[in-house]
Structure 1
Amino acid sequence: MDNEQPTNLHDSSKPEGRAIKGRGAASNPEGRFETIRHHAEDDGWSHELLDETAPRPRTEVTEERARSVISRNDSPDIHFTQAINPYRGCEHGCIYCYARPSHSYLNLSPGLDFETKLRAKSNLAEVLRIDLAKRGYVVSPINIGSNTDPYQPIEKRWQLTRAALQVLAECHHPCTIVTKNALVERDLDILVPMARENLVQVFVSVNSLDNQLAAKLEPRASAPHRRIKTIRTLSDAGVPVGVLVAPIIPALNDKDMEAVLAQAAEAGACCAGYTTLRLPYELKALFREWLALHAPQRADHVMSLVQQMNAGRDYDSDFATRMRGQGVFADLLRRRFDIASRRHGYGRARELKLDSSRFVPPRKPSPQGDLF
């Protein structure tokens, strides 16, 4: 459970970091498992802390050899039981990302480290084959991108998501994909044949149509209009695609909900869903800092509404309410979403009845190769 009060909370009117172009987080606070805390203090001799020309943090990718790559989920509010995440951390830098606190398990910060110090599971395809070939493996759709985006910028070089799709396509294994990057179009040569066999569904996340806001909220993701175009491209190619208006942040991007649903439907989205902002663990302080830097005049109002939807707290981990919130404002969002969904002919996002009957386990490596 993650209802405990976070460490390093500070007044939203006094940001500790500075805005960095191309990055979501403004600072690098220690994770909750660290016992030593560091705090930079300007002694007047150097202005490096406030220097806008200071070098921007670069993205570093470390190769990781995974032992297994399929994670299991039994949360009652999540509609899949299996997932693959080719990367740890995400270069998109979305300040609201609920996965940021997971970087603490690597002794890295959920702040800038999460979007600059990434891990790539270089043996993903190899281990996936082993996992799928295990005796007793039970087939159910695998979600790609449940924690971090499988098509974040480093995928261009590493191509781990593509490698995973190739294995799944070869085995006729069903999967779903969640992304906010147009790079998913690169893999149409795999996705289209899978779609013909009812083996894949893609969800594109679009939470605003405001390019300026998106550039601050999710600085290295594809622009909103480009994601709408991606929905059209996938739909025209015959790949079933839905739109996720996620997360909705009250008094910040909720005004765009109906417009996103309308444009996505016109582009060919067949279903839609939404979630509200979730602020587990260290994310509470990081998001407050972001508000103080980028929306100081409405910061208190945003957090007041967030708390109204979370039983008076910044975050409530109750499975029954954590995705949609509770209270008057949450009910208003729900009604708005339902009305817009009916107007545009789709309901809440849900997994298609993907076909699991075609699955053929991968062959184990053999010295005799494919002779028999």
Structure 2
Amino acid sequence: MSSSPQRGRGATSNPDNRYTPIHRTAEDDGWQREADAPLHTVLHPLPAKSLISYNNSPDIPFSRSINPYQGCEHGCVYCYARPSHAYWGYSPGLDFETQIIAKPNAAELLRKELAKPGYVCEPVCIGANTDAYQPAERELQLTRQILQVLDEHHHPTYLITKNALVERDIDVLARMAERRLVKVMISVTTLDKTLARHLEPRASTPARRLEAIAALRAAGIPVGVLVAPVIPALTDHEAEAILSAVAAAGAQSVSYILLRLPLEVAGLFRDWLQTHYPDRASHVMSLVQQMRGGQDYRPGFGQRMRGEGIFAELLAQRFALARKRLGLDQASLVLDCSQFKPPGAAEQLSLF
């Protein structure tokens, strides 16, 4: 792997797609290397065949999700969604944050899926895999169009983002909040601006995320916070400070997720550590493995989000105590599915 960080990019390399039989090895012949050339983001509009994804994972609090984009320009080096880019023929490394697939027919497709005779309404989570408010959203507005469809048909939704662009859609979110149809989760990893710039280079700064929490709450929109991921020996010492900051901004609840390093993410994260924080790289990975049964990652249900062992237990206790002290341990908001109006229902009723 190369260790040549590019400004505004998280990964320091572009490992081969694990499904391709051809593998490349970079050689320094004295000329400019391909990896050193400036990388520009390329948007690939690709109409989707289906929009809502379903899961039955016991440790995920929703059974369906929508992702308007594949790949994410935020460039978070730790992103567990990186390996999914290989399904599209791209690398989980720099390709993941520069080759962005957008679904231009998302709103139209959503309306059709909601209108299916057998559709049963349950809350849908927007942005569970890749961020629905990444930079491309400013122009394409796919997420806003999806929200407008959900609002029109009174369909409940959870929204996860680390981009303050969510403030743009306060008008739609406020209407949905009045009917108990939405909750926004803002992801906060660190309060350290310098660390955030290396860790998640094109996401909103920590200060802007706090401002977004305050703006959403001022509009009456329920807001929770995901401290995700918690990285041992790098961000875990900030846990109490983060909870205090988000509580002051108006957040009503907090959860956390331990660093997850599936497939290629493990190598990308190790390379990033050696590039940006070589003095603590071995210590970070030692603690990660102590919380993952001696491995970089264990994907089993029940422990993949929280880890295991004494350090994981101590982390859970710290969050529990801080949540209670700051009033962030409120019961989870139950969204209302009873108001759902399937597309076409009004037209059909008008015939009688």
Distance in 1 of aligned mates of 2:337 and 2:150: 11
**Aligned twin of 2:31:** 46
Q: Secondary structure at the match of 1:165?
A: helix
Residue 355 of structure 1, aligned match among 330, 336, 339: 336
**Aligned twin of 2:275:** 293
**Aligned twin of 2:232:** 250
Q: Which amino acid aligns with 2:202?
A: R
Answer whether contact 1:201 1:351 (CA < 8 A) is retained: no
**How much does 1:24 deviate?**
0.3
What number of residue pairs does the alignment pair up? 351
**How much does 1:66 deviate?**
0.8
Distance in 2 of aligned mates of 1:362 and 1:260: 42
Q: Which amino acid aligns with 2:326?
A: H
Distance in 2 of aligned mates of 1:242 and 1:94: 20
Question: Which runs of no fewer than 5 residues in structure 1 stay unpaired?
Answer: 1-14
Residue 231 of structure 1, aligned match among 213, 220, 230: 213
Residue 119 of structure 2, aligned match among 115, 126, 137: 137
How is 1:96-245 mapped onto 2 (pairs within 5 angstroms)?
96-245=78-227
Residue 274 in 1 paired to residue 256 in 2? yes
Q: Which amino acid aligns with 1:35?
A: P
CA deviation vs aligned residue, 1:112-148 (integer Å, no higher than 9, x gap): 0000001000000000000000001111000000000
**How much does 1:371 deviate?**
9.8
Answer whether contact 1:202 1:241 (CA < 8 A) is retained: yes
**Aligned twin of 1:65:** 47
Distance in 2 of aligned mates of 1:282 and 1:177: 26
**How much does 1:67 deviate?**
1.1
**Aligned twin of 2:19:** 33
Q: Secondary structure at the match of 2:75?
A: coil
Q: Secondary structure at the match of 1:355?
A: coil
Q: Secondary structure at the match of 1:65?
A: coil
Distance in 1 of aligned mates of 2:244 and 2:34: 44
Distance in 1 of aligned mates of 2:243 and 2:159: 19
Distance 1:131 1:299, change over 3 A: same
Q: Secondary structure at the match of 2:262?
A: coil
Q: Which amino acid aligns with 1:63?
A: P
**How much does 1:69 deviate?**
0.2
**How much does 1:48 deviate?**
3.4
CA RMSD of aligned residues (A): 1.8
Distance in 2 of aligned mates of 1:235 and 1:329: 34
Q: Which amino acid aligns with 2:272?
A: W
**How much does 1:256 deviate?**
1.0
**How much does 1:84 deviate?**
0.4
Q: Which amino acid aligns with 1:20?
A: Q
CA deviation vs aligned residue, 1:314-343 (integer Å, no higher than 9, x gap): 000111100000011111111110110001
How is 1:303-314 mapped onto 2 (pairs within 5 angstroms)?
303-314=285-296
Distance 1:94 1:312, change over 3 A: same
**How much does 1:49 deviate?**
6.2
TM-score by length of 1: 0.91
**How much does 1:34 deviate?**
1.5
Q: Which amino acid aligns with 2:7?
A: K
Answer whether contact 1:130 1:364 (CA < 8 A) is retained: no
Answer whether contact 1:149 1:178 (CA < 8 A) is retained: yes
Q: Which amino acid aligns with 1:184?
A: V
Answer whether contact 1:61 1:119 (CA < 8 A) is retained: yes
CA deviation vs aligned residue, 1:73-117 (integer Å, no higher than 9, x gap): 111000000100000000000000000000000110000000000
Distance in 2 of aligned mates of 1:139 and 1:334: 33
Distance 1:184 1:104, change over 3 A: same
**How much does 1:47 deviate?**
4.5
Question: Which runs of no fewer than 5 residues in structure 2 stay unpaired?
Answer: none
Residue 321 of structure 1, aligned match among 296, 300, 303: 303
Distance in 2 of aligned mates of 1:96 and 1:74: 24
Distance in 2 of aligned mates of 1:267 and 1:326: 31
**Aligned twin of 2:9:** 23
**How much does 1:17 deviate?**
2.9
Distance in 1 of aligned mates of 2:332 and 2:126: 13
Q: Which amino acid aligns with 2:25?
A: H
Percent identity between the two aligned chains: 55
Moved over 3 A (4+): 47-50
Distance in 2 of aligned mates of 1:177 and 1:351: 14
Residue 86 in 1 paired to residue 43 in 2? no
**Aligned twin of 1:264:** 246
Q: Which amino acid aligns with 1:353?
A: V
TM-score by length of 2: 0.96
**How much does 1:204 deviate?**
0.3
Q: Which amino acid aligns with 1:212?
A: T
